A and B are shown apart, each in its own frame.
Chain A
Amino acid sequence: MGIFDFLKPKSNSAYDAKSRLQFIVAQQRGEAGAPDFLPRLRLELIEVIRKYVHVPEDAIKVSKEKHGDYDVLDISVELPDAARAAGDA
Chain B
Amino acid sequence: MTEIIVVTSGKGGVGKTTTSASIATGLAKRGKKVAVIDFDVGLRNLDLIMGCERRVVYDFVNVVHGEASLKQALIKDKRFDTLHVLAASQTRDKDALTKEGVEKVLKDLADEGFDYIVCDSPAGIEKGAFLAMYYADKAVVVVNPEVSSVRDSDRILGLLASKTKKAEDGGRVQEYLLLTRYSPPRVEKGEMLSVTDVEDVLGLKTIGVIPESSDVLNASNKGEPVILEANSDAAAAYEDAVARLMGEDRPMRFTQIEKKGFFSKMFGG
Contacts and interface: CB of A to CB of B under 8 A. Distances in A.
Interface string A18-52: 10111011001100110000000000000000000
Contacts of A11: 189-191
Given A1-B265, A1-B268, A3-B266, A25 B191 contact: no
B44 interface: no
A13 B191 contact: yes
Interface stretch (B71-79, B81-89, B197-205): B197-205
A17 interface: yes
A46 B253 CA distance: 53
Interface of B: 146-147, 150-151, 154-155, 158, 162, 187, 189-194, 197, 200-202, 260, 265-269
B201 A18 contact: yes
Nearest to B147: A17
Interface of A: 1-3, 5, 10-15, 17-18, 20-22, 24-25, 28-29, 32-33
A32 to B, nearest CB: 4
B190 A21 contact: no
B158 A28 contact: yes
Contacts of A25: 150-151, 154, 201-202
A28 B201 CA distance: 12
Nearest to A8: B189
B260 to A, nearest CB: 8
B158 A14 contact: no
B190 A29 contact: no
Of all A-B residue pairs in the complex, the 10 with the closest CB atoms, nearest first, are A2-B268, A12-B190, A32-B158, A21-B201, A18-B197, A25-B154, A14-B190, A17-B147, A14-B193, A21-B150
Contacts, number: 58
A28 B266 contact: no
Nearest to A15: B190
A14 B154 contact: no
A17 B201 CA distance: 10
A17 B197 CA distance: 9
B114 to A, nearest CB: 33
A14 B200 contact: no
A36 B190 CA distance: 40
21 contacts: A1-B260, A1-B265, A1-B268, A1-B269, A2-B267, A2-B268, A5-B268, A10-B190, A11-B189, A12-B190, A14-B192, A17-B146, A17-B147, A18-B193, A18-B197, A21-B151, A25-B154, A25-B202, A29-B158, A32-B158, A32-B162
B197 A14 contact: yes
B190 A13 contact: yes
Given A15-B190, A28-B155, A32-B155, 11 more contacts: A2-B266, A11-B189, A11-B190, A11-B191, A17-B146, A18-B200, A20-B147, A21-B147, A21-B150, A25-B154, A32-B158
A69 B162 CA distance: 17
Contact of A14 (B194, B260, B266, B267): B194
Nearest to B202: A25
Nearest to A24: B151
Contacts of A3: 266-267
A5 to B, nearest CB: 7
B185 to A, nearest CB: 9
Nearest to B151: A24
Contacts of A24: 151, 154
